Amino acid sequence: MTTPTDDQRRVRVVLVDDHRMFRTGVQAEIGATEETGVEVVGEAADVDQAVAVVTATRPEVVLLDVHLPGGGGVEVLRRCAALSADPDRPVRFLALSVSDAAEDVIGVIRGGARGYVTKTITGPDLVNSIFRVREGDAVFSPRLAGFVLDAFASTDAPPVDEDLDRLTQREREVLRLIARGYAYKEIAKQLFISVKTVESHVSAVLRKLQLSNRHELTRWATARRLV
């Protein structure tokens, strides 16, 4: 990397949403590359288009709508799994949806998205989230943190539990603060840890949510009549 600063400041993004109006709006909000550093390199309106565009452009971050014609965001994630697993130039997915229903949120996170924000997010926050996801960190909206806490609430076990599926006390604390609307920086200040540590806690939560605790999640979802 000869020009690390320049590389750090630019992020290539693909927009996936079936509403042209919405894509235009997001483009207008974040697409001014000189100011925000976000370069929108492609757009797609359904699953097939999305897979084609993402494969062709290899963006760093994909802003993915949850409800799409052709199978939804989860389908895109499934068909792009190889791209997002690429160790050299991974494609990260950030779900951007109008829905904050639990089944949508948990569905795409388990599908492999690195974060979930709702469409009420402001432009600067969205840009911020895109950069954070590019770095491999997780972005949780307060609501999402609430869902995760809810999902793991039934396993309120001691933190010394050997079961890796459980959230540690610290991770739970971090999630609580996110759910209370704290920014990562504020959480770090509150808990006397570094921002990096906060981010690694959040990533750990994401990993657990994605890969494990199927049993608890199923039970949780069944109790809420989601499945």
Partner 1 sequence: MPPSSPPPPGPPSGTPGSAFLTPPDPSRPGVRKLYRSSEGRMVGGVARGLAGHLGLPVLWVRALFLVLTAFNGIGLLLYAAFWFFVPLGVGGVAEAKEPRDARSWLAGKRPDKGQIMALIALAVGTGILVDNLNLGAANRAVWPVLVIALGVALVWRQADNARKARWVEMSHGKRFWPLVRAAGGVVLVVAGVTGFIVVRGSGNHLGGALQAALAVLVGVALLAGPYLVRMAQDLSAERLMRIRAQERAEVAAHVHDSVLHTLTLIQRNAEDAREVARLARAQERELRAWLYRPEGTGREEEPATFADAVRAAAAEVEDAHGVPVEVVCVGDCPLDEHLTPQTQAAREAMVNAAKYGGGGGPVQVYAEVEEDRVFVSVRDHGPGFDLDQVPEDRMGVRQSIIGRMERNGGTARLRAAPGGGTEVELEMERVAAS
58 binds partner 1 (CB under 8 A): no
Can you tell me the distance from the alpha carbon of 203 to that of 114, in angstroms, rounded to the nearest whole number?
Answer: 8
User: Which of 182, 11, 179, 25 shows the shortest CA–CA distance to 98?
Assistant: 25
H/E element holding 182? none
The mark string for 208-227 relative to partner 1 (x by CB under 8 A, - otherwise) is ----------------xx--
CB 216 within 8 A of CB 155: yes
89 binds partner 1 (CB under 8 A): no
CB of 85 to partner 1, least distance (A): 32
Can you tell me the distance from the alpha carbon of 18 to that of 44, in angstroms, rounded to the nearest whole number?
Answer: 7
CB of 15 to partner 1, least distance (A): 22
H/E element holding 2? none
Q: Of the candidates 6, 7, 86, 150, which one interacts with partner 1 according to CB under 8 A?
A: 150
- Which of the residues 167 through 186 are near partner 1 (CB under 8 A)? 176, 179-183, 185-186
Can you tell me the distance from the alpha carbon of 143 to that of 210, in angstroms, rounded to the nearest whole number?
Answer: 17
145 binds partner 1 (CB under 8 A): yes
195 binds partner 1 (CB under 8 A): no
Beta strand pairing call for 61-64 and 11-16: parallel
Closer by beta carbon to partner 1, 153 or else 211: 153
Applying CB under 8 A, the residues found at the interface with partner 1 are: 99-101, 142-143, 145-146, 149-150, 153, 156, 176, 179-183, 185-186, 189-190, 224-225
